[in-house]
Amino acid sequence: MGDDDGGPSRRRFLGYTTCAIGGGIGLSLLYPVVRLVADPMCRQTVTTPTEPIDIGAADRLRVAATWQQVPVIAPVIADAWSTSHDVVLGGAFIRQPAAGKLEALSAVCPHLGCAVGYDPGANTFLCPCHNSRWDRDGNLLPDGKAQRGLDPLPIEVKDGRLRLTWVAYKLDTASREPA
């Protein structure tokens, strides 16, 4: 060894080659792994219905009565490898302030997505996670963390059945846009 190893340029060349081989192995191993781990970001892993969901008979809503809390149950959802039936997507509040006029609010807190409850004592909506409150019409009350009112959901009556469209909105923003 010593002097007859070809001098500094040969040593540098061999060094680079070794690094290149190592790098090649590393990249070839890392690429499929990173691609796999990142794949869920590039696709819809959980598919929930975008069409209206049946949430019960229309006669359950009495005119001018207070909000009713209902679970929104998707007839079918796809979650990665699995398909499930009757899966709870989240909660909603529904009411009929005047005959034929229907209103629905998502029970997902527009702050960080906790489930909002109705506080019948104070007659307000309350998110138990960070104490955001909304008035009886779903308008934001001060002192909470949420930046907007509760999110309305499209609701309609068809053939005597209530049909609600589930929409997930972007969280923790003042404006309301679908996620």
Partner 1 sequence: MKLRAWIRERTDVRMPTGMIHGGPSFAHVFGWVLLLLLLVEAVTGTALAAFYSPSTTSAWGSVAYVQDQMALGWLVRGLHYHGGSALVIVTGVHLLQTAVYGAYKKPRELVWWLGIVLLLLVLGFTVTGYVLRWDQAGYWANRVEVGIAASTPVVGKQIRELAIGGNEYGNLTLTRFYALHVIVLPAIVALGVLGHIVLALRHGATTLRPDMPATRRWPDQALRNAFAMALAFAALLGYAVSQHGADLAAPADPSAAFDARPLWYFRWLFELRHIFGSWERFAALAAPAVVAGILVALPIFDRTPSPALRNRMPFIGAVVGLGALVGILTLLSFRADARDADLAKRQDAADKLAIRARMLARDNGVPVTGAQDVFKTVPMYRARSLYAQRCRGCHDAGSKDRKGPIIGPGHGNRAWLRGFLTGPSGDAYWGRTKLAKTEDAMKAVDIAGGDLDDLVELLYAQSGAPDADTAKRDRGKALFDKACNDCHNLDEGVASASAPCLYGIASRDWFTGFIGNPKSAVHMGIDKSEMPRLDKDLSIVDRDLIAQYLVWLRTATPQDLEALGPL
CA 31 – CA 34 distance, rounded (Å): 5
State the sign of the Cα–Cα–Cα–Cα dihedral 127, 121, 67, 154: negative
- Three-state DSSP state, 6: coil
Question: Binding mask 23-62 vs partner 1 (x if CB under 8 A, - otherwise)?
Answer: ---------------x-xx-xxxx-x--------x-----
Burial code (b: 16+ CB inside 10 Å, e: under 16) for 34-55 equals eeeeeeeeeeeeeebeeebbeb
129 binds partner 1 (CB under 8 A): yes
Among 49, 52, 58, 113, binds partner 1 (CB under 8 A): 113
Q: Which of 128, 137, 139, 156 binds partner 1 (CB under 8 A)?
A: 128
Residue 51 or 177: which CB sits closer to partner 1?
177
**Closer residue to partner 1, CB minimum distance, 40 or 154:** 40
The reply on whether position 64 binds partner 1 by CB under 8 A is: no
Q: Which of 55, 61, 67, 90 lies at the binding interface for partner 1 (CB under 8 A)?
A: 90
> Which CA distances in Å does 83 have to 51, 135, 164?
17, 38, 21
Stretch that binds partner 1, among 12-20, 83-91, 93-101, 149-157 (CB under 8 A): 83-91
Question: Which residues are at the interface with partner 1 (CB under 8 A)?
Answer: 38, 40-41, 43-46, 48, 57, 71-72, 79-82, 84-85, 87-91, 107, 111-117, 119, 127-131, 145, 168, 171-172, 179
